[in-house]
Amino acid sequence: MPSQFLNPSLRVYCAKELRSLLRDRNIVVYGLLLPLFLYPLLLFSISELRQLTTGMRERMEPTIAMQGLPELETHLHELVPPPRTLPLTGGAGEALERGAADLVIVRAAGSERLVVSHDSTSGPSRIALERFGPVIEAWRRQAEREELVRQRKWVERSDVVFVDASVETNSTRELLATLLPLILIIMCTFGATWPAIELTAGERERSCAETTFLLPLSRHDVALGKTIAVTAAAFTSLCVHLFAMLVAAGPLLAQIRGGASALPSLAWTTLPIVLCYGVLLSIVFGAIFLLVGSYAKTFREAQAFVTPVQLVMMLPAMLTLLPSAELDATTAWIPVYNAGLAFRAALLGNIDLTATATSLASLSLCALLCFRTTVRRLSDTAFALGFADGDRLRERWS
């Protein structure tokens, strides 16, 4: 098999198929251009939505729980619009967790230092901190200057301490690590669908499939070239989507969270493992869709054949969203499902070497089986020209 890839005629034919795919408008638009414009457009839409909701944020009336700070409470009531204040009962974390307060301000034990507690996972709490955090810090500095003037001696500086009392501060990081594998797998299936249909049913519909027999290549090499071309198109689409998401994810999260937060520290050092799974998934999807599309005579008929298979292939990827889903000795043997779980574990940095090696071996066997089956099927001249099996399938489908 490796020696066949060194065949100059095969390389020329594979490059020819890739060029023909790039001439197809649907493949270029949906596989390459769409991801490059989709995520910046999403970023622009969220930015516009945030500007529209700025007025609503300003009209919100946050609640601040305070303990033994009457001067600060008076100062806050002089603001426009003033917040609602109430005495603190219980701990700061308890008041934030049950929603009784959006901010909690207390004095640190044994000092004059102010401690401002907030919940970064709560929208009202983030808004309250954004609006009143600078005000509280400015009031504290003014109080220190007045104390310095009154006592005419050194006053110990005590900055305001801001504490995030949220139970889980890495929720955004885990959300990204959960959604990215699902998005990448789905985009990989879309990247393989159009090229597979174009190189099978598309050629038959244009009545140019027979001309491939005039090439100085065996039927096996032609089938091999088509499969490699579809796999390359699917992997390229996956890489383009990954690149577009990496570029837009940081500003997009900053718009969603209402701040200047950067991309959470996912374990991007494991990106080679992610790309390795991407290659194997591209082989699996490309080979399966190419095989299914070869049973159709027209482009529309191939879409009817491929779409149900596409949905079935997406189902294991969607199951990775389950909270209990994790890569172990059992799930590592389930194709596509193990790739999604391995994606998530790799991005979080929680790599189990045994389970990862098992999943790679399982997915490699699946990719090899799909690849060899498709190449062998497309190498059958009777199948390529007679469509006998395709006619039976078409009768059952209708």
Compute how many other C-beta atoms are within 10 angstroms of the C-beta atom of residue 192: 31
Integer Cα distance of 286 and 294 in angstroms: 12
Integer Cα distance of 223 and 4 in angstroms: 12
Q: Which residues of the chain have pLDDT under 70?
A: 1-6, 24-59, 110, 121, 123, 147-158, 166-175, 209-210, 212-213, 248-269, 323, 381-398
The confidence score (pLDDT) of residue 262 equals 46
CA distances, 256 to each of 46, 54, 183 (Å): 7, 13, 19
The confidence score (pLDDT) of residue 365 equals 94
Tokens found for residue 11? 């390389």
DSSP, collapsed to helix, strand or coil, labels residue 242 as helix
H/E stretch holding 86? strand 84-87
- Which pTM value belongs to this model? 0.61
The closest of 21, 23, 87 to 290, measured between CA atoms, is 21
Q: Is the dihedral of CA 390, 391, 395, 398 positive or negative?
A: positive
Q: Nearest 10 degrees: CA dihedral of 307, 311, 314, 316?
A: -140
Q: Where are the alpha helices (DSSP H) in 258-352?
A: 271-293, 299-319, 337-348
- Report the alpha-carbon angle 15-18-22, nearest 5: 135
The confidence score (pLDDT) of residue 369 equals 93
Compute how many other C-beta atoms are within 10 angstroms of the C-beta atom of residue 302: 25
CA distances, 100 to each of 87, 130, 296, 398 (Å): 11, 18, 63, 62
The confidence score (pLDDT) of residue 43 equals 61
The confidence score (pLDDT) of residue 361 equals 93
Tokens found for residue 103? 């901010």
Integer Cα distance of 344 and 320 in angstroms: 9
